Amino acid sequence: MSAPAARPGPSAASLSRGLRPWSSPELTSWGRLPMHAVPHPDRLDLDGRWRFQLLRSPEEEPGPDWGELAVPGAWTMQGTWDRPHYTNVRMPFPDRPPDVPAANPTGVHERSFRIPDDWAGRRIVLHVGAAESVLIAALDGAEIGFSKDSHLAAEFDLTDRVRPGAEHTLRLTVVKWSDASFIEDQDQWWHGGITRSVFLYATGPTYLADVVIDAGLDADGSTGTLDLAVHVGWAAARQPGWRVEADIDELAVGLAGEVPAEPPAAGGPGDWEIAGPPRRGVLDLQSMAATRAFASDADRERWAAAEPVVRPPRLGVVRLHARVPGITPWSAEVPALSTLRVRLLAPDGSVAETIERRVGFRRVEATASELLVNGKPVLIHGVNRHDFDPRTGRTVGADQLRADIVLMKQFNVNAVRTSHYPNEETFLDLCDELGLYVIDEADIESHAYIDDLCHDPRYRAAWVDRVARMVTRDRRHASVIAWSLGNESGHGANHDAAAGWARREDPSRPLHYEGAIRFDWLGDQRVSDLTCPMYPPISAIVAYAAGGRQRHPLVMCEYSHAMGNSNGTLGEYWDAIEATPGLQGGFIWEWRDHGLEQRLPDGTVRSAYGGDFGDEPNDGTFVCDGITFPDRAPKPGLWELKQIASPLRVVSGPDEARRGVVVVENRSFFRDARWLRPSWTLEDGGRAVADGDLALPAIGPGERAEVAIPNFPAVEPAAGEAWLTVRFALAEDTAWAAAGHEVGWGQVALPSGSGRAGGEAWSGDVDLDGEGLLRHPSFAAPPALSLWRAPTDNDRIGGMAGRWAAWGVADLTRRLEAIERGADETTVRATWRTAAGIEVAHEVRLARDAAGRIRIRERVVVPPELRDLARVGTLLTFAPGHEALTWLGTGPHETYPDRARGGRVGRWTSTVTDQLVPYVRPQENGGHAGVRWLEIGGLRIDLDRPRQVSALHVRAADLDVATHDVELRARPETFVTIDAAHRGVGTASCGPDTLPQYLVAIGVHEWAYVLGPAEGA
């Protein structure tokens, strides 16, 4: 920025009258104004380029040399010597709470500004949207206050310190490590800096200090209730005659009330100030001295003798109430909002201030077994979400926030948990507008000291402060259906205190906290109104709901960990949820891979994870566990969730289809099915033979209807099966997708039992080499037995990869046992030996027909020593030049045996190059479940039954040794795997492994396929 040179100012160590706020957990702020939810529109934006120095510790004095930095923006993402650091549970430094390292990066941000002339005589406030982790504000060399809480705003009153037309210098010093870091120990990157916007705003001397909005819903479902508590502040003496008016034009609501002419009784709520040393209960000076909050007795004495440090506003409260008949209730399905205007009128009738807020009328309840929204036990198809951007780290603009929600809506996500802190407030505005349920979570996680700090009285103020500020800021949002007291912080008196505050202040919403139920779902805890476990097995949640002792609705706060090639058994979770009353879904961990863009010396840009910035200790790739990639591209698991959460579902079978009807079920809770337009296609062998539109009746929420399929032909599938596919698309444009966007689909198989025509004559005359291996012009190497896959993240962390390495199944050697040539087929028997010496018997039978097609039948006996292999199958290595790929099976995206419901059976055309899924750390890749046949180049492979198949230009070993996707180099060959059995992907990096039915069994495995020319070849 172009600005005058920085004037001398205080160091962090000289601020706070000798306090060391970075190591004083009792002290949450000084000089900071109370949180509120009023958007004062008269603003002076301070975002942009600021002068900047990064010091080695808060004890260091700024020097004469200044650089520049973008604000908002983490300095860790702007080329400074302090880089991002990733840990999950453990702290990034060894010090114990509340102590922090002496080497403590401290960013000094400074800029100059002028107050507009027309702000003369007005109240002027500084707003800092968020700073990680201690913010110390100074103006013109004098401190004005400090704040802790890396994810909520801090405001400071500058009225008596600034003059219109004069130039002022603002310095914002941010200390990275503090006592607060121990309760911000979340599974994310550690950054430092000012991460949300900075601005000044002006109000009149009498102003709207806060507007508390409670928009509820009567039991009749159509009458809204509106309760307002309008807090009016006076910067000077209270005056009589002020009024408050409120209205909602479209609902014909008009309210008014007189501001009380007299203040409440001294010390009562709503009219208070701190002058001089804080009162006991806000800050205990004796305990502060005991924790070395003061550098010396002299500093403590200077504090006690100080001028008033903060004068929170004198307040008058106007309470208004209305009943509003004929409203449309708000829900995630129908996010109906109305515009509420609140005006402050001066005694002469002029309008002193006006604010507008969008409100939605709805009711949330938690019974013994159901979480109810507007009286309905909605199912939560949710995700956990951080504020994240791969380029900025923590700073996210409104367009990025909208892009997150638009994609969620397009993939049928209906809920978000703001892990693990209040997200940027614009995100909640958009959730109100577009329709998402939100569990709003306080910025509390003491994971490294999970069972310690929750009992520590030094941290009690921080617990309550963070919950209270979140509730105060966000309670106006219809989308927020529950408050979360934080994450992975044990359960102690600090939670009880915060829960008590939240229940008293906002009884309209239930509380959520996993730590309270962590060890006992049935216990008599009084903190959480929801049973909200992490990564429970399916059997456990079913047993809880079916056991007859359920105390709270069960909504999993985290499940189906989306790290890498993952989200196995998601369908089985939802089978259980939908079939079991008392289970209401949960939140997938998590929305997005947190790979940060990193440019290497050769210019390559990669997604970086723990350790890539030299950060030690670190937790590696565990930060890349989203259901979307860092660039927000959907992972295959998100397609699985979309189909599971489809608002309409086909629940009929082939008998109905042959009668020319399909049965459709409406899975919504609040709207009928007419917002969607269905169409149908009949495919035989993957080729469409008929299609058309369906006329969908007004199927009510939770209802089913039989829908006629016009002109549905009689079909006898030539290849043994045909597929009726019904697609459900938007009938009209919405705020999150255009008309025609597909929200779901259903398929009905129409088998004939005839199968492929047979009767060919087969000969045992096949081209084998001296080792009994098949030679074929399309192959660069003969077919080989495969028992291994490149380990997934789940395989590595879950321990499977280690077992496979110990068994040596990635490195097989073959010993020929016998070749037996017969008239009909040739039998080759061999033994494959792993690198650890374990032997596997393998038999191959080969035959050729008159057209030159080759039939191959394989048989393997897996010994008990190899229990739980990755796969049993065949690796075909094609010579260079094979790129075009077509298959009949699930697609078009990657699917696996325990994650195949999101893949539609069809005829798909792609390239081998496009099969590679760009997992940040390479791993098992590109598979397709249920493949009937595939064509690659000019060769067709017909399978004996639907199998797991993949085709890639990289080997499994290439995937295994690469640490980042940008390291992979395509080989000219194509590597095709055909599996008799393939292990499910599960979620074992965090949570249950795959189910037993998706494990590779010991014993006999048999499979067969036919090699022949592709269609038209």
**Residue 758 pLDDT:** 54
Q: Can you tell me the mean pLDDT for 659-663?
A: 96
Q: Can you tell me the mean pLDDT for 732-756?
A: 90
Average pLDDT of the residues of the chain: 92
Backbone φ and ψ of 32, nearest 5°? -85, 135
Would you say 916 and 926 are in contact if contact means Cβ atoms under 8 Å apart? yes
DSSP label at 13?
G
Q: What is the pLDDT of residues 331-340, one digit of tens each?
A: 999 999 999 9
Q: How far is CA 190 from the centre of its chain?
A: 18
Q: How far apart are CA 380 and CA 411, in angstroms?
A: 13
Among the ranges given (190-194, 267-271, 469-473, 811-815), the one the predictor scored with the smallest mean pLDDT? 267-271
Would you say 456 and 98 are in contact if contact means Cβ atoms under 8 Å apart? no
Q: What is the pLDDT of residues 116-128, one digit of tens each?
A: 999 999 999 999 9
Would you say 942 and 880 are in contact if contact means Cβ atoms under 8 Å apart? no
Question: Looking at the predicted structure, is the pLDDT value of residue 195 above 70?
Answer: yes
Question: Looking at the predicted structure, is the pLDDT value of residue 850 above 60?
Answer: yes
Q: Can you tell me the mean pLDDT for 697-712?
A: 95
- The residue among 31, 65, 586 whose CA lies nearest residue 310 is 31
Q: How far apart are CA 281 and CA 196, in angstroms?
A: 31
Look up residue 662 and give its amino acid: V
> Which stretches does DSSP call E strand in 149-192?
154-157, 167-175, 188-190
| Rg of the chain in Å (alpha carbons) | 32
Confidence category of residue 985, pLDDT binned at 50, 70, 90: very high
**Residue 719 pLDDT:** 72
**Residue 274 pLDDT:** 28
pTM for the structure as a whole: 0.94
Would you say 148 and 178 are in contact if contact means Cβ atoms under 8 Å apart? yes
Q: Can you tell me the mean pLDDT for 238-256?
A: 91
Question: Looking at the predicted structure, is the pLDDT value of residue 910 above 60?
Answer: yes
Confidence category of residue 12, pLDDT binned at 50, 70, 90: low
**Most confident residue range from 268-277, 534-543, 719-728:** 534-543
**Residue 619 pLDDT:** 97
Count the Cβ atoms, other than its own, within 10 Å of residue 429. 18
Q: How far apart are CA 608 and CA 594, in angstroms?
A: 8
**Residue 449 pLDDT:** 98
Confidence category of residue 235, pLDDT binned at 50, 70, 90: confident
**Residue 309 pLDDT:** 40
Among the ranges given (265-269, 519-523, 584-588, 842-846), the one the predictor scored with the smallest mean pLDDT? 265-269
**Residue 877 pLDDT:** 98
CA torsion, points 538, 510, 431, 327, in degrees to nearest 10?
120
Confidence category of residue 328, pLDDT binned at 50, 70, 90: very high
Look up residue 220 and give its amino acid: D
**Residue 9 pLDDT:** 56
Confidence category of residue 305, pLDDT binned at 50, 70, 90: very low
**Residue 753 pLDDT:** 66
Backbone φ and ψ of 643, nearest 5°? -70, -40
Among the ranges given (254-268, 285-299, 367-381, 600-614), the one the predictor scored with the smallest mean pLDDT? 285-299
Q: What is the pLDDT of residues 456-511, one digit of tens each?
A: 999 999 999 999 999 999 999 999 999 999 999 999 999 999 999 999 999 999 99
- 3-class DSSP state for residue 956? helix
Q: How far apart are CA 810 and CA 786, in angstroms?
A: 8
Task: Strand 48-55: give its sheet, edge to edge.
Answer: 29-30, 142-148, 134-139, 167-175, 106-114, 48-55, 67-71
- The residue among 866, 864, 814 whose CA lies nearest residue 844 is 814
Count the Cβ atoms, other than its own, within 10 Å of residue 48. 12
Q: At what angle do helices 425-434 and 398-410 cross, to 10 degrees?
A: 40
Neighbouring residues of 397: CB distance < 8 A, sequence distance ≥ 6: none
Q: Can you tell me the mean pLDDT for 711-729?
A: 90
Q: How far apart are CA 194 and CA 181, in angstroms?
A: 15
Q: What is the pLDDT of residues 72-104, one digit of tens each?
A: 999 999 999 999 999 999 999 999 999 999 999
How long is the chain?
A: 1017
**Residue 19 pLDDT:** 81
**Residue 238 pLDDT:** 82
Q: How far apart are CA 110 and CA 138, in angstroms?
A: 9
Q: What is the pLDDT of residues 398-423, one digit of tens each?
A: 999 999 999 999 999 999 999 999 99
Q: What is the pLDDT of residues 477-490, one digit of tens each?
A: 999 999 999 999 99
Q: Cis before residue 133, ω within 30 degrees of 0?
A: yes
**Residue 935 pLDDT:** 97
Q: Can you tell me the mean pLDDT for 164-174?
A: 96
Question: Looking at the predicted structure, is the pLDDT value of residue 61 above 70?
Answer: yes
Among the ranges given (258-262, 403-407, 941-945), the one the predictor scored with the smallest mean pLDDT? 258-262
Confidence category of residue 817, pLDDT binned at 50, 70, 90: very high
**Residue 716 pLDDT:** 82
